[in-house]
Structure 1
Amino acid sequence: MSTILVTGGAGYIGSHVVRQLSEAGHKVVVFDNLSTGSPDALIHGEQLIVGDLADRERINTVLRETGAKSVLHFAAAIIAPESVSLPLKYYGNNTRNTLNLLEACVANGVERFIFSSTAAVYGIPEGGEASETSPTVPINPYGASKLMSEGMLRDAAAAHGFKYVALRYFNVAGADPQARMGQRTPDATHLIKVSCQAALGMRDCVSIFGTDYPTPDGTGVRDYIHIEDLAAAHLYALSYLERGGESTVINVGYGRGSSVREVVDVVQKVSGVQFKVVEGPRRPGDPANLVAQASRIRSLLGWAPKYDDLTTIVADAWRWEKKLFEAQKK
């Protein structure tokens, strides 16, 4: 079984994928600059190479020496509001560094490439539901940087003969059900993590941005997907390519949404803490609904979710956040 190179494999999503790959018997090498990732997330002794994709010579050397024929690319900056104030950081880290990686992949005969993309490429889809054929009109540099990377990937694959799957994530949440790993990112903006931190007393409150949307309870609706189901999608995508599947773009979501207020209520119920909730005005650019049209991943990859339940997602996140909180106090 050939080596798989995982960039950003010590981060939140990447580490869950790395663990599942290792548990499936794959040999995994992780390439990560550890700006947001942690070596502690690599629990099966995977090889970690500390490096940055801005270093073109280093990534070329790594691919040449490992002989990896499959690359899973997670390394990126991912905070949409930050991308508005620091656009060049996002075009540099997300777009230019993906170009560096693609050049190294072509030079070293990589055959399969799985790309961590985002629903942010859709911007604000009409009707609040996005299919893979929906218009891609990103509204921030984060979404634009990922869409540009998708374009480079498509064109490079066509010219150089390798195959790829670009997975467009919706709202990733939760943690390993055994609490071995989860989201470690400081100053996180994800609603479920923020709410868990409020329940632990780490934040004064949780803010709800907008209560007058045309949704059942007036708050924004998002498609939350458990990290374990998202991670599994990458193994299904890899298997699809190994069987000779053609390059494609696939949404990764459940095809149903939960509102901000629903999420907050579930976190309060699971944690048993009635933390303070502050209602505020809408944030510019936030859609009322953003839900995946998610039939392609099921029909093409044969993927089916195992954790499609908001209470399960929150309970696993809560278990991890409590563990992380207790460890930080020591």
Structure 2
Amino acid sequence: MKTIVITGASGYIGRCLVTKLLALGDYRVKVLTRHSQEISSSACLFPNSVEVVIGDLQAPELLTGLFERDCTVINLVYMWGAGIADNVAVTTNLLRLCSAAGVGRIIHCSTAAVVGRVEENDVTEDTVSNPITEYGKTKLAVEEVIRGAQNFCDVAILRPTAVFGIDGAPLKKLASDLAAGKRVTNYLKSCLFGRRRMNLVHVDNVVASLLFFIDYQDKFGAEIFIVSDDDDPSNNFADVEHFLMNRLAIPPYKFPRFLIPLGVLSFILNRLGRNNVNPRCNYSPNKISALGFRRPKSFMSGLEEYAEWWRSTGLRQ
């Protein structure tokens, strides 16, 4: 039975990954929990079959027994608001522990946000990154540290786009705004955003890519892979908004949308200091697909699932 150690497992992707690993039943799962006072909440997050290790990567000397020889490590750790130096320090501690234990593979979950501001409409793993925000810069710096782990084990780096799904964050603001009934505000926003690419990817597809990386037989050699649903033409604001309005029984706008040129939106995003100011930007999933990875959930079925969850949980009211 393959041992999987997950750091940052209490986050959205981590919880979904643990659930899937346990459902498959072919893996021994260990997770890192930062503080002992979280034991009770961790018990709610993770079933008894999950081995919970109490500790903190900021105090690596106390993390004995977390990593094991030939195990696979899934790194989902990110310290919000901590800045580049602290995140790099924690990642360095992680790699020292992994090296000492003799782990077999590290799969690091980064983000497509490391790409930042680029002129290309079609972004690939070879696109030169130009992050503007602290988040993007920090994530890119952590990637560089992770790549150094290839000196002692195999390494793969995953860059998902905006991860959505049941209880996920990216669509909550849009769905909430639509449900709140602020018709004028929503209409103006719809005119402004228009066909702006949403760059959404369903959490099931991200989890499936991590599972694919866990069981992949060849070496990755610190290669980077984008996982996205951007090859679906409906992955844009206007189509997603229209779909949610239809499924949530929200009446259409009284007037047709007056779509503002995307160049104007790009100018506004630039002035607001956003990381990605190209509303036509697509992140290509072709590289990971070429390895044989197949996404289990289509973009539209993911939206359907999300809308049904929204209705059934009473959030529509």
Instruction: Please give the range of the TM-score, normalised by the shorter of the 2 chains.
Output: 0.7 to 0.9
Q: Is contact 1:63-1:105 (8 Å) kept?
A: no
Residues 3-45 of structure 1 show CA distances to partners (whole Å, capped at 9, x for unaligned) of 211111121111111222222211111113489x965443574
Question: What is the distance in 2 between the residues matched to 1:220 and 1:51?
Answer: 42
Residue number in structure 2 paired with 1:55:
59
In the alignment, the residues of structure 2 paired with residue 210 and residue 203 of structure 1 have an alpha-carbon distance, to the nearest angstrom, of: 12
Q: 1:322 to 1:107 in 2, by over 3 A?
A: farther
Q: Flag the 1:62–1:210 CA change in 2: closer, same or farther, 3 A.
A: farther
Two-structure CA RMSD over aligned residues (Å): 3.4
Structure 2 gap segments, 5+ residues each: 254-259
Corresponding residue number in structure 1 for 2:76:
74
Does 1:169 find its partner at 2:145? no
Map of 1:273 onto structure 2: 250
Paired residues for 1:99-138 under 5 Å? 99-138=92-131
Q: Distance in 2 between matches of 1:203 and 1:98?
A: 44
Structure-2 separation of matches of 1:323 and 1:120: 32
- CA distance in structure 1 between the partners assigned to 2:191 and 2:281 by the alignment: 16
Instruction: Tell me the residue number matched to 2:229.
Output: 254
**Over alpha carbons, which structure has the higher Rg?**
2
- Residue 32 of structure 2 is matched in structure 1 by 31
Partner of 1:146: 139
User: Which SS does the other structure have where 1:120 is aligned?
Assistant: helix
**Aligned residues between the structures:** 293
Structure 2 contact 205–295 (Cα < 8 Å) conserved: yes
Match of 1:127, SS? coil
1:210-249 to 2 correspondence within 5 Å?
Answer: 211=191, 217=194, 219-240=195-216, 242-249=217-224
Q: What code does the residue aligned with 2:159 have?
A: R
Instruction: Give the C-alpha shift of residue 226 in structure 1.
Output: 1.1
The SS at the match of 2:129 is coil
Give the C-alpha shift of residue 261 in structure 1: 2.6
- What is the CA distance between 1:77 and its match in structure 2? 4.5
Secondary structure at 2:110 match in 1: strand
Is the CA contact (8 Å cut-off) linking 1:167 and 1:250 kept in structure 2? Answer: yes
Distance in 2, Cα, partners of 1:325 & 1:40: 23
Report the Cα offset of residue 168 of structure 1. 0.7
Q: Distance in 2 between matches of 1:245 and 1:154?
A: 11
Partner of 1:178: none
Change in 2 beyond 3 A, CA 1:268/1:95? farther
Partner of 2:304: 315
- Please report how far the alpha carbon of residue 211 of structure 1 lies from its aligned counterpart in structure 2 after TM superposition: 4.9
d(CA) in 1 for partners of 2:243, 2:70: 43
Cα distance 1:196–1:275, how it changes in 2: closer, same or farther (>3 A)? Answer: farther
1:265-314, CA deviations, whole angstroms, 9 ceiling, x for partnerless residues? 222122223599xx9954433321331122110112x111232223x222
Indicate if the aligned counterparts of 1:199 and 1:274 stay in contact, CA closer than 8 A.
no
1:119 deviates by 0.9
Deviation readout 1:87-143 (Å, 9 max, x if unpaired): xx1325633222221111112111200001111111123232211101011111111
1:316 deviates by 2.0
- Is this contact kept in 2: 1:169–1:251, CA < 8 A? yes
TM-score (norm 2): 0.79
Q: Compared with structure 1, are the counterparts of its residues 195 and 255 closer, same or farther at alpha carbon in structure 2 (3 Å cutoff)? A: closer
Residues 12/247 of structure 1: CA separation in 2 closer, same or farther (3 Å cut): same
Over 3 Å counting, the alpha-carbon distance change for 1:287 and 1:94 in structure 2 is farther
